[in-house]
Chains A and B, each alone.
Chain A
Amino acid sequence: MAYNLKVEAAKPERFVGGHRLCAGCGAGVAVRGVLRALDESDRSCCGAATSCLEVSSFLYPFTAWQESFVHSAFENVAASISGAEATYKALKRKGRMDETYKFIAFGGDGGTYDIGLQSLSGAMERGHDMVYVCYDNEAYMNTGIQRSSSSPKFSEVSTAPVGSVLPGKQQRKKDLTAIMVAHNIPYVAQTTFTKNFKDLHEKSHRAIYTPGPAFMNILAPCPRGWRYDPAELMTICNLAVETCVWPLYEVIEGQWKLSYEPKNKLPIEDYLRLQGRFSHMFKPGAEWMIEDVQNAIDQKWEALLKKCK
């Protein structure tokens, strides 16, 4: 059946309101979007790294999770979910499990690109039948917007602030999606919230129902860290795609596939201008920073197009 947002949105929620995530935060949108792709008869066992998502969704004695959910630490959600998945396999083998469960780990960029990278790499290499979802908001938001290896160059973060000498973070963003592709796992995708959520939905479904390990990187903006009007969440995500700073693509069994090619690639200023974390890039004399960022995007985009041909 063709994708229909109204039909999908009418499904019972698996991650419900009452959580304490901020208005305009991408984390909850990502979780709801991914879980909506579960077939209605299937259950899931989800996990989260310590993160805004975790501390906002499961404050004792309340939980926003209508699925089974486990959290234990910051750097280990991939290992944690692999333990639950191992149990499922063992119980199936021993005839003690009748139902179908899917296994989904959620981590922010801190818990995924940085402190949890080893755990993620291990779980993917071992081939667990699980999906790892990174909701990437490009800094350690839970502890107060510190830099991560996902923070883009020149973004202002609290451990790489804009000063009289240094203009924000000095290094480029780590390309984690490519690192996960290099793990030769069956499915890797990069997505965000665009238009009617079709891209997120279809990739989530493919990730969940591809046997073996799958990785999804979801750009999930943070209104506090990025400093945008919470109502502009979708605008920002759309601009990330239209400027090609966050291209939509998937890699299925090693085959690169572009999900969307903008008709007119927009200049990066259109994306940066809406975010306070880049405001210093629009001051007189800072044009070189925009140019630097644009060049890097152009190069990466061209390289991606080649891979997807």
Chain B
Amino acid sequence: MAIRERLSGNEAVAVAFKQMDLDVMAAYPITPSTEVPQYFSQFVADGVVQTEFVAVESEHSAMSACISAAAAGARAATATSACGLALMWELLYVASGSRVPVTLALINRALSAPININNDHSDSMGARDSGWIQIYSENNQEAYDNQIMSVRIAEHKDIMLPVMVCQDGFITSHAIENIELLEDDAVAKFVGTYTPQSSLLGGKPISVGPLDTPQFYFEHAYQRAHAMIESKKVILDVFKEFADLTGRAYGLFEEYKMEDAECAIVVLNSTAGTAKYVCDELRAQGKKVGVLKLRVFRPFPIDEIKKALSHLKAVAVMDKSDCFSAVGGPVFADVRNACYDLETRPQIINFIYGLGGRDVRVEDLKHVYSALDEIVRTGHLGKIYRHVGVRGV
């Protein structure tokens, strides 16, 4: 029987970690992810988990401890945000390069400077090329579900890549929503026990983390890239199994009213909710609009995206971070790339929005849709790299 609850996004993630009875959690507090280790350490204090909670002195040490813990045979996880992820940066690559299935709850927050504790995606987008699988969550339910599924993906013997599950800081991390939880034993059964093929504490000694000369580094890099390619199938298999268990079916992305749409916006995390609302309003006015909500950003589902956008006339890709390439945001770059091979492709523009917790209002998304409308109407693409919600632009 599913359990109906009301939880914040942070608590939902902590509950997911509790239900899978992590072996090791190593974490350092940073707003807005702090509640995750707080809730979890209460579970430890109350003896409801058998996890070893390591209250490290930094995020760098959190990821370092998680990497060795996973190499030693633990199901290990951490949670962080923004500068905390930035401090882990070096180890993010070590985690994927060492092929350890660490999982991370990333509560998205803007990177400094200036310091800002609110939501955007500059943290996870900056880490998009670090060899981590990235799954984004629109709401608390998705954050909970994704976190549970993430260990099955990470620990799959053909994948062995770390996974970060992202959700929007404050917007979902601190908002209490209705949520449907699985029973503890259902989660335990779904995730099973992590049994690596070899581990530091597995009896036979192993060495982890070598120096690779040019004779070997490239092959190992290729294997990591290959695992990322292969992970798509595993992700879909795990999603399917989870759907069979819960009735909640997830894909690489969600298509909302896309079938007959002429214009659509591509968006991820909580803004998808607002986008669907705006989409409904415009649909009521007879506009053929849709929303494509990306869930899995790494691996990037290029073929599926290409297909999903092929029939559109105009697309706006929403980026809640800027990668300062001077030509657009990171989601835009990948989505537009996906459309390159189409014989007839939609006109594609990019909007940078919501940086540093700037509210994303219904009017902002209406503005985006009207920009698409104008492109379709006039046939003129205009400026590609745009901003919405920023003063003076």
Residues of A within 8 A of B181 (CB): none
What size tier do the contact residues of chain B reach? 35 or more
- What distance in Å separates the Cβ of A239 from its nearest Cβ neighbour in chain B? 33
What does the 1/0 interface line of B64-82 toward A look like (CB < 8 Å)? 1111110111101000000
Asked, given contacts A59-B213, A75-B60, A118-B57, whether A89 binds B52 with beta carbons under 8 Å apart, the answer is yes
B207 an interface residue at 8 Å Cβ cutoff?
A: yes
Residues on B with C-beta less than 8 A from A59 are 210-211, 213
Segment of A62-70, A194-202, A252-260 engaged in the interface with chain B:
A62-70
Given contacts A60-B211, A73-B94, A94-B23, contact A82 B54 (CB under 8 A): yes
B26 near A83 with CB under 8 A, answer yes
Asked if residues A119 and B64 are in contact (CB atoms below 8 Å), the reply is yes
How far apart are the CA atoms of A220 and B316 in the complex, in Å?
62
Q: Which candidate, B3-11, B168-176, B197-205, B267-275, is the interface stretch facing chain A?
A: B197-205
Residues of A contacting B56 with CB < 8 Å?
79, 82, 122, 126
The answer, yes or no, to whether A58 is at the interface (CB within 8 Å) is yes
Q: Could you tell me the distance between the alpha carbons of A47 and B94 in the complex, rounded to whole angstroms?
A: 15
Residues of A within 8 A of B205 (CB): 43, 65-69
- Verify if B318 is at the interface (C-beta below 8 Å from A): no
Is the CB of B352 closer than 8 A to any CB of chain A? no
Q: Closest A-chain residue to B213, C-beta based?
A: A59
Contact A122 B57 (CB under 8 A): yes
Instruction: Tell me the bound Cα distance from A43 to B69 in angstroms.
Output: 17
Partner of A84, one of B60, B201, B216, B220: B201
Q: Which of A47, A78, A97, A126 contacts B201 (CB 8 A)?
A: A97
Contact between B216 and A86, CB atoms less than 8 A apart = no
Say how far A152's CB is from chain B's closest CB, in angstroms: 29
Chain A interface extent, by class: 35 or more
Q: Does A279 contact B (CB under 8 A)?
A: no
In the complex, what residues of B have CB within 8 A of residue A89's CB? 52
Whether the pair A63, B207 counts as a contact (CB closer than 8 A) is: yes
In the complex, chain B residues whose CB is within 8 Å of the CB of A101: 201
Contact residue among A68, A86, A93, A99 (Cβ-Cβ distance under 8 Å from B54) = A86
Contact (Cβ within 8 A) B206 A68: yes
Residues of B within 8 A of A69 (CB): 200, 205-208
Does the CB pair B58–A118 fall under 8 Å? Answer: yes
Contact A72 B64 (CB under 8 A): yes
Cβ contact of A55, chosen from B65, B90, B211, cutoff 8 A: B211
B65 near A88: Cβ-Cβ < 8 Å: no
Residue contact A72 to B67, C-beta cutoff 8 Å: yes
CA distance A84 to B200 in the complex (A): 8
- Verify B211–A70 contact, CB threshold 8 A: no
How many angstroms from the CA of A94 to the CA of B51 in the assembled complex?
9
How far, in whole Å, are A45 and B65 apart by their CA atoms in the complex?
14
Asked if B98 is at the interface of the complex by the 8 Å CB criterion, the answer is yes
Q: Which residues of A contact B60 (CB under 8 A)?
A: 75-76, 79, 119
Query: Is A54 in contact with chain B by the CB < 8 A criterion?
Result: yes
Contact A70–B74 (Cβ < 8 Å):
no
B61 touches A76 (CB 8 A): yes
Question: Which A-chain residue is minimally distant from B53 (CB atoms)?
Answer: A86
Task: Indicate whether A71 reaches chain B with its CB closer than 8 angstroms.
Answer: yes
Confirm or deny: B382 has a beta carbon within 8 angstroms of a beta carbon on chain A. no
Q: Is A87 positioned at the interface, with any CB of B under 8 Å from its CB?
A: yes
Asked if B91 is at the interface (CB within 8 A of a chain A CB), the reply is yes
A-chain residues with CB within 8 Å of residue B207 when the two chains form the complex:
58, 63, 65, 68-70
Chain A 165-194 interface residues, beta-carbon cutoff 8 Å to B: none
Which residue of A is nearest B74, CB measured? Answer: A87
Q: In this assembly, does A80 line the interface, its C-beta being within 8 Å of a C-beta of chain B?
A: yes
Q: Which residues of A sit under 8 angstroms from B24, Cβ to Cβ?
A: 83, 86-87, 90
Name the B residues within 8 Å of A82 (CB-CB).
54, 56, 61, 65, 68
Q: Does B55 lie at the interface of the complex (its beta carbon under 8 Å from any beta carbon of A)?
A: yes
Tell me which of B50, B72, B209 contacts A94 (CB under 8 A): B50
Partner of A91, one of B74, B208, B220: B74
Specify which chain B residues have a CB less than 8 angstroms from the CB of A284 in the assembled complex: none
Among A70, A96, A126, the residue within 8 A (CB) of B209 is A70
**A123 to B61 CA separation, bound complex (whole angstroms):** 9
Q: Tell whether A87 pairs with B211 under 8 Å between CB atoms, given A65-B205, A73-B94, A122-B58.
A: no
| Contact across chains for B68 and A47 when beta carbons are under 8 A apart | yes
A295-B56 Cα distance, complex, nearest whole Å: 40
Asked if B212 is at the interface of the complex by the 8 Å CB criterion, the answer is yes
Contact indicator A87/B58 (Cβ below 8 Å): no
In-complex Cβ contact of A68 among B51, B91, B200 (8 A): B200
- Among residues of B, the one whose C-beta sits closest to the C-beta of A66 is B205
Which residues on the B side are within 8 Å of A43 (C-beta)? 205
**Contact at A91–B23, with CB atoms within 8 Å?**
yes
Q: Report if A90-B26 is in contact (Cβ < 8 Å); known contacts: A58-B210, A83-B66, A99-B203.
A: no
Q: Is A146 an interface residue (CB 8 A)?
A: no
Where the two chains meet, the residues of B that have a C-beta atom closer than 8 Å to any C-beta of A are 23-24, 26, 50-52, 54-58, 60-62, 64-69, 71-74, 76, 90-91, 94, 98, 193, 200-201, 203, 205-213, 216, 220
Enumerate 17 A-B pairs (CB-CB under 8 Å) in ascending A order.
A58-B211, A68-B200, A71-B208, A72-B67, A73-B90, A76-B91, A79-B56, A79-B64, A83-B67, A84-B71, A86-B26, A87-B24, A87-B68, A90-B24, A90-B74, A97-B201, A123-B61
Q: A60-B216, A86-B52, A87-B76 are in contact. List 19 more A-B contacts (CB 8 A).
A: A43-B205, A69-B206, A70-B68, A73-B90, A79-B60, A79-B62, A81-B68, A82-B56, A83-B65, A83-B68, A83-B69, A83-B72, A90-B24, A90-B50, A91-B23, A91-B73, A91-B201, A94-B50, A99-B203
